[in-house]
A and B are shown apart, each in its own frame.
Chain A
Amino acid sequence: MADEPSWFERWVDELLNNDRFQRLAAKILVPYWAWRTAVKPQPGGPHFSMQPGDNVMRMMNLVMPLKDKSPVGRAKAALAIAQNKDEIYAGLDNVGTVHFARFVIVADNICMFSVYDGDFTNYIRDFIATIGSVFDAVVGLVEGGDAVIPSERNIEAFIDWVHAHDLYQVPDLATDLLRDQEAVNGAQPCTAGNDLRLLPRALILQLHVNSNVSLGSGYRAYPGYSVAQVRQQLGIGW
């Protein structure tokens, strides 16, 4: 009896592995557990850190839903960027802390993904000072954006708004998710009452409230350098 699974066991195994059953079960189970063990949304962006390696090449992942979800709306967003190429480069060169910046339209969202050095608020503030008009043009097309433009007159609110649209970075190490959840709840790191087998559920529930996330803090081929260090080493001036 020990090694030979019964028909019932085999039936259960097949059921649990069935994709449609899994999706149906999730439709019921996820909201139930989200209600039972409420998980608070995690803030976006990288954690504060004292270490130089953590403060260069940081990721910003902004996902901003467009007001106008038609091709016309997307074209407006595309033009808002294309018409401001000089402004964007002036900002990049004179703020000096951005490695890469990309604007991407995905579904009905205009997204901005960038790699930058140093403090997040300094980055946004210095950019407001240089290319505030471009920010206004783009954010004006986004849901909820009117409340925080013109950015030059609403510096603090604009920075907070960008931060609110910056995606949560799911930790590189799976168990650090538990530490993030403890931090947001103001709890001490676990000494008891944890079940490692619930880590997948913790992840599911976190992704239920933070539906768009960055997976990890990014993969770097040459971690640990600022923009100016790279430019200086390569002899192209900074």
Chain B
Amino acid sequence: MSAVFNAADLQGNIVRGYRKPRARYLILEVTNREWARRWLTDITSGRDNGLPQITSEAPWGDTKPDSCFNIGLTYQGLRALGAPAASLATFPTEFIEGMNARAVKLGDTGASAAELWPFPFNHPQRVHLIATIYADAPAELDRIQNLAIGDGRALTLLGTRDGAGFNGDYVHFGYLDNLTQPRFAEVHDPDRYADGQPMAPLGTVLLGYPTNFEGLLFRVPQPERLGLNGSFNAFRMLQQDVAGFEAYLDRAADDLMAHPKLDEVLPPGAEAKIGGGLSRPAALRELVAAHLCGRWRNGLPLALYPDGDQVPSDVNMTNFDYVGASRCPVGAHIRRCNPRGGQIVQRVANNSRRLIRRGLPYGPAYNPAHPDGQERGLLGNFIGANLGAQFEAMACDWLNLGLQDPRVTGSNDPLLGANDPLTSWFDLPLRSGGSIRLRGLPRFVTTRGGAYTFLPSLPAIRHLGALTD
């Protein structure tokens, strides 16, 4: 049973991004079931009743709203709202268990362990709703927050997390992000261009539609009103050790400067093509940074531009594939998370673990001239129709373990992976066919919280609001 796509039914933050520079995540607990249900009805009423209204995917026309508002519900939240047990049982196992319980599968061990997450994420049974406010100005975030919480009779605010872009789409490790998202035939997104990948079926992200797997349909949570056009989100607060990352680039560059095969990595004079004329060590740093990620810091993909990042600025950053002898390392971050049409062990799974990624950095921009110990990172949303088939599958077999290619099996993602400097490694490919093995990569990203949420359609929110005991 394939649904008919009606944009007005979807929440607006799923198939397209709002491109607002600021966001606030409100982590909420149901105070009172009746009032919470009424709250859900009121935010989807479309009327001006003092509460922010859910932004849908319906086109805006000419005027972009000052702020947007959307919600996600955890399993505990659905329980707290009184969804019947039979309905709850139709949700997927990983969503029911919650992100905290899936820690080992996701690599949230050691410093990233769920027990160490700050409040409220270390009390997953109390995290019921995550509401997101998107705006241009902080004052607007505050205003909407006050409207949404009101007197707290419906929902209690457990905590907030603020995201703010500090330089367009740049993130804290210094890379330009948000260059590639799945494209859908049914959705016109003027920000998305040809990207060398097939159009994604709607079932990549929405429940009730054909998926990338031929003939496979994910179970739509019942009743159908609740599950159809819904989606699942892995919300994650990822702390980034920028100082540690830059220090690692220094060490790697030093080691390479002394390496006998240095001229194969960076032929004499080739540093002119990197960063607009850097010294050899500085160029090596950028070269290592590009190989770890799969893109130069300015977003240019290694697969198309392996020798340097000096190219005319109006080039398409995302129209490429990993075919043949691609110069992008197999273990590079963007290639691990999205191998596109490249050769992978799990051939049948090409293009089946794609995710919509939305997010904003949090924390102040890092200034290498004045290094500080402030916490900074990424508030990330990894959205797909099925957590187990997409987010989890990518995280445990590709990001960590590296099962998709025997050349990286046994190693973790250099940027995001659960690396232990005693045993971690990353192979820098050489044009001659060999490679130089970089070692001692520490863990650069630590998980500081998160939750699996269900992103219901607007009819689904109204359905929950109309629940009776």
Contacts and interface: CB of A to CB of B under 8 A. Distances in A.
Interface stretch (B26-34, B216-224, B321-329, B332-340): B216-224
Interface stretch (A67-75, A155-163, A190-198): A155-163
Contacts of B393: 119, 121-122, 125
Interface string A31-53: 00000000000000000111010
A227 B349 CA distance: 16
B406 A95 contact: no
Contacts of A160: 93
A108 interface: no
B370 interface: no
Given A125-B389, A126-B348, A50 B107 contact: yes
Interface string B380-396: 00000010110011001
Contacts of B407: 232
B391 to A, nearest CB: 12
A129 B213 contact: yes
A231 B388 CA distance: 28
A52 B401 contact: yes
A154 interface: yes
Interface string B154-165: 000000000000
B214 interface: yes
B92 interface: yes
B460 interface: no
A48 B395 CA distance: 13
A55 B406 contact: no
Which of under 10, 10 to 19, 20 to 34, or 35 or more describes the interface residues of A?
A: 35 or more
Interface string B384-416: 001011001100110011010111011100000
B219 A50 contact: no
Contacts of A238: 345, 406
A231 B216 CA distance: 30
A232 B406 contact: yes
Contact of B410 (A52, A132, A153, A156): A52
A224 B219 CA distance: 35
B104 interface: yes
Contacts of A49: 104
Given A50-B104, A154-B219, A121 B214 contact: no
B348 A129 contact: yes
A214 B214 CA distance: 34
Contacts of B107: 50
Interface string A123-167: 001101110100000000000000000001111110110000000
A155 B218 contact: yes
Interface residues of B, number: 37
A126 B396 CA distance: 15
A96 B345 contact: yes
Given A97-B403, A121-B393, A122-B393, A130 B93 contact: no
B49 interface: no
A156 B93 contact: yes
B109 interface: yes
Interface in A185-206: none
Interface string B350-393: 00100000000000000000000000000000000010110011
Given A118-B397, A153-B217, A156-B388, A96 B104 contact: no
A198 B186 CA distance: 64
Interface string A195-232: 00000000000000000000000000000101111011
Contact of A229 (B214, B349, B409): B409
Contact of A55 (B92, B218, B386, B401): B401
Contacts of A93: 347
Contact of B349 (A55, A126, A228): A126
Given A226-B345, A227-B345, A155 B104 contact: no
B219 A95 contact: no
Contact of B219 (A126, A130, A155, A233): A155
B63 interface: no
A63 interface: no
Contacts of A129: 213-216, 348-349, 352
A228 B109 CA distance: 27
Contact of A156 (B219, B345, B348): B219
Contacts of A224: 410
6 contacts: A94-B346, A94-B347, A121-B389, A122-B349, A153-B216, A156-B218
Interface of B: 92-93, 104-105, 107, 109, 213-219, 344-349, 352, 386, 388-389, 392-393, 396-397, 400-401, 403, 405-407, 409-411, 418
Interface of A: 48-50, 52, 55-56, 93-97, 117-119, 121-122, 125-126, 128-130, 132, 152-157, 159-160, 224, 226-229, 231-233, 238
